[in-house]
Amino acid sequence: MKSSLLISSNTQRGLSLVELMVAMAIGLVVILATMATYLGSSNTSRLAEAQGRMNEDANAALSILSQHLRMAGSNPKQANRTSACPRNPVYAARVVNLANVDTCAVAGTATYILRGCDGRFSNITSAANLAALTCTTDASKPDSIAVSYEADAYNTEATGTGVPTDCLGQSIPMSTANVTQVNGTTTSTVSVPFYVADNRFYVGTSTLIVSPSLYCKGNGNATPQPLIENIEDLQLSYGTGLGASLGTGTLTVSGYLNADEVLSADDLAALPDDPTRWGRVQTVRLCVVARSESPVLDNLASARYIKCDGTLETNPPDLRMRRAYSTTVVLRNRVN
């Protein structure tokens, strides 16, 4: 009986203190390893998400700017436009029922289809047209640019009634011009409508959207609006050439200049006026700097990035990711 009691007592013995400590240590190691794996995976996912959002924002900004720049000038693709109508820099109204006579009506006094500034135009929201814009050069600020073109229901998002819209989707005011209508041997003067878009792009902030954004001010509405958030910088350079004949299909770019150099470069300064100088711009290089919506990096060294001018930003302001994105746009109405 005594031996049986001893055996039963031994089989019910618990873990010793050493065994318990070893088990706890192993469990702690497993927990720490699991947490480290989770945190590493979460951080990688957060960086990937931030990078993906940056790519989307930058591509959207470049796409919008490129779309409007490609349309700078009048629209030579309309089937009922006579080939003799000038494309740049003035706007020619459409000619209807044209029969063996090239007749054009120059409407308005527009002299620019494109105008840039090294910095923001000081009167970007109040200027009546591109010719009235005033540029106060400040190389430390993001650039701005204004684009004008003949708008229709095909190269803009038209309203339900077919009225072309500006960069903000607002209806563009209609203009009219008198043109000669030829029908056999009979001629008459008719008034035809046309629309001219005037869109101005810059980087700005507002009290409602505190992050820097790509803004546009169109001529369909007096109030500019943000288009793409987290666009921190916009830098532009302009490809110019004196050798190409505009409208011949020939593209000759002799070099890239900033906005101030377009007016002051030796070969361009000899031209009679600023509209003529800007009329020599045939391509535009765009560069935007996009940033992550929130700080996602661990240290400022990781936040360094290559700026639009190709130099390294060694003193980033915070722990957000940043990256420069660029593209080059041909002003197709200059060479078509």
CA 85 to chain centroid, in Å, comes to: 31
Contact 199, 218 (CB under 8 A): yes
4 pLDDT above the threshold of 80: no
- In tens, the pLDDT along 46-90 reads 888 999 999 999 999 999 999 999 988 765 444 444 444 444 333
Cα end-to-end span (Å), the chain: 112
**Ramachandran class of 276: left when φ > 0, alpha when ψ lies in -120 to 50, beta otherwise:** alpha
Bridge partners of 328?
285
Report pLDDT for 78: 46
- In tens, the pLDDT along 286-324 reads 999 999 999 999 899 999 999 999 999 999 999 999 999
Instruction: Report the sign of the C-alpha dihedral through residues 310, 311, 314, 318, in that order.
Output: negative
- In tens, the pLDDT along 23-38 reads 788 878 888 877 777 6
- In tens, the pLDDT along 109-130 reads 457 889 999 999 999 999 999 9
CB proximity list for 205: less than 8 A, separation 6 or greater: 211, 212, 213
Task: Report d(CA 225, CA 230) in Å as an integer.
Answer: 14
pLDDT band at 102 (very low <50, low <70, confident <90, very high): very low
Question: Three-state SS for 32?
Answer: helix
Contact 329, 310 (CB under 8 A): no
Report pLDDT for 99: 44
Listed by start position, the domains of the chain span 17-335
Task: Report d(CA 169, CA 59) in Å as an integer.
Answer: 20
Sequential DSSP letters for 103-137: --EEES----SEEEESS-BTTTTT-SSGGG--B--
183 pLDDT above the threshold of 70: no
Comparing 86 with 132, the larger pLDDT belongs to 132
Tokens representing 155 are 């190269």
Report pLDDT for 46: 82
Bridge partners of 324?
289
Task: Report d(CA 29, CA 23) in Å as an integer.
Answer: 10
